[in-house]
C-alpha cells in the first residue's frame, strides 16, 4: 500500500470537520436539491446545471520522484443536462494545458424522499504533451467510468457517496515520433468519493470532498509511468462551487 502521510490525513479530516461545523450553524433550509450538483438531482427536461471543481491530489513519491514540478491542481468544469424520465446527459472538461481530459455520458436518478440514487457511465478521451524540461513526450487514450452515487439531503447540507470504476480501453505514449508503449482494455481500478455540499447564498453552493483513487494509471501523472505493475492509493481533496 502506498504510504499516506499523517499530516495529509489530518488536513483532510480538519477540512471535513470545519465544513460540518459550518453546516451545523447554518439556519438556511433551501428547497430540496434546488442548488445541489453532486447530490443526485432529478433535473427537469432541458434543465442545465454545472459546477467548477478543483482536484488536488497527493501522488505517491515513488511515482513523482524528482519531477515535482508537475504537481498542480486540476480544474474541472462538470455539466448536467436534463432529459425525460429522470435521465441526464453529463459531461466534464479538465485541462491544465499539458494534461487534458474530456468526458461525456449519461445517468439515471431515482429519488426516495431525500435519499437519491444515481447510476451512470461516462466515456472519456484524454491527451497530454510536454516539450520542455528536457521532455519531448505525448500521450493519449480512452477511459470508461461506470459509476454509482447515493446522496442524502439534510436541508442545510447534502452528503453524497460516489463510487466509480476506471477501465482503460486504450493508452499510447510517444517519445518524439517514436511510439514507446501501448496498452488496451485493462481494469485500472476505481475511486470512492465523499462530498458535502453547503449553500453560501441563494442557489450558490460550495463543495468540499475527499476522493481516494485505487488505480494503476493516474492520468495526471502520465509523464511518470511507473515501471512496476501495481495499484496505488492516491487521495484527492475536492473544492468546488456551483455555477
Q: Note whether residue 28 is domain-resident.
A: yes
| pTM metric for this prediction | 0.82
- Residue 26 domain flag: yes
> What confidence tens digit (pLDDT) does each residue in 226-236 have?
655 789 899 99
Q: What is the CATH number of the domain that holds 88?
A: 2.40.128
Residue 65 lies in a domain: yes
Cα–Cα distance between 19 and 22 in angstroms, integer?
A: 5
Q: pLDDT tens digit string along 141-160?
A: 999 999 999 999 998 889 99
Burial class (CB in 10 A: 0-12, 13-18, 19+), 149: buried
Residue 1 in domain: no
* Residue 195 domain flag: yes
Decide if pLDDT at 19 tops 90: no
For residue 74, which of 218, 228, 216, 233 has the smallest C-alpha distance?
Answer: 218
Higher-confidence residue of 155 and 6: namely 155
Q: Report if residue 216 sits inside a domain.
A: yes
Closest CA to 206 of 241, 159, 156: 241
User: Which residues constitute the domain of residue 109?
Assistant: 6-242
Is there a domain that residue 104 lies in?
A: yes
Min mean pLDDT across 23-32, 111-120, 169-178, 200-209 is at 23-32
On whether residue 217 sits in a domain, the answer given is: yes
pLDDT the model gives residue 177: 87
Q: Which residues contact 19 (CB under 8 A, 6 or more apart)?
A: 157, 196, 198, 208
- Domain count for the chain: 1
Grouping H, G, I as helix, E, B as strand and the rest as coil, residue 6 is: helix
pLDDT tens-digit series, residues 156-206: 889 999 999 999 999 999 988 899 888 999 999 999 999 999 888 777 889
Map residue 226 onto helix, strand or coil.
coil
The per-residue pLDDT of the chain, averaged, comes to 84
Virtual torsion, Cα 208, 214, 217, 218, nearest 10 deg: 10
Amino acid at each position: 500500500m502506498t504510504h499516506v502521510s499523517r499530516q495529509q490525513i489530518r488536513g483532510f479530516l480538519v477540512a471535513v470537520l470545519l465544513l460540518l461545523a459550518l453546516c451545523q450553524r447554518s439556519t438556511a433550509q433551501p428547497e430540496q436539491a434546488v442548488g445541489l450538483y453532486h447530490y443526485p438531482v432529478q433535473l427537469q427536461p432541458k434543465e442545465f446545471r454545472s459546477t467548477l471543481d478543483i482536484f488536488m491530489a497527493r501522488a505517491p513519491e515513488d511515482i513523482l520522484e524528482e519531477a515535482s514540478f508537475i504537481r498542480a491542481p486540476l480544474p474541472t468544469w462538470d455539466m448536467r443536462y436534463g432529459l425525460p424520465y429522470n435521465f441526464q446527459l453529463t459531461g466534464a472538461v479538465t485541462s491544465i494545458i499539458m494534461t487534458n481530459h474530456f468526458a461525456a455520458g449519461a445517468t439515471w436518478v431515482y429519488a426516495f424522499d431525500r435519499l437519491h440514487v444515481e447510476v451512470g457511465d461516462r466515456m472519456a478521451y484524454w491527451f497530454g504533451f510536454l516539450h520542455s524540461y528536457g521532455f519531448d513526450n505525448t500521450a493519449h487514450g480512452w477511459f470508461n467510468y461506470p459509476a454509482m452515487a447515493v446522496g442524502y439531503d439534510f436541508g442545510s447540507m447534502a452528503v453524497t457517496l460516489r463510487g466509480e470504476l476506471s477501465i482503460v480501453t486504450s493508452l499510447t505514449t510517444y517519445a518524439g515520433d517514436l511510439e514507446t508503449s501501448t496498452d488496451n482494455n485493462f481494469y485500472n481500478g476505481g475511486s470512492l468519493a465523499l462530498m458535502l455540499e453547503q449553500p453560501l447564498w441563494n442557489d450558490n453552493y460550495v463543495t468540499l470532498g475527499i476522493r481516494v483513487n485505487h488505480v494503476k494509471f493516474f492520468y495526471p501523472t502520465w509523464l511518470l509511468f511507473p515501471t512496476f505493475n501495481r495499484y496505488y492509493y492516491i487521495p484527492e481533496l475536492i473544492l468546488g462551487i456551483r455555477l
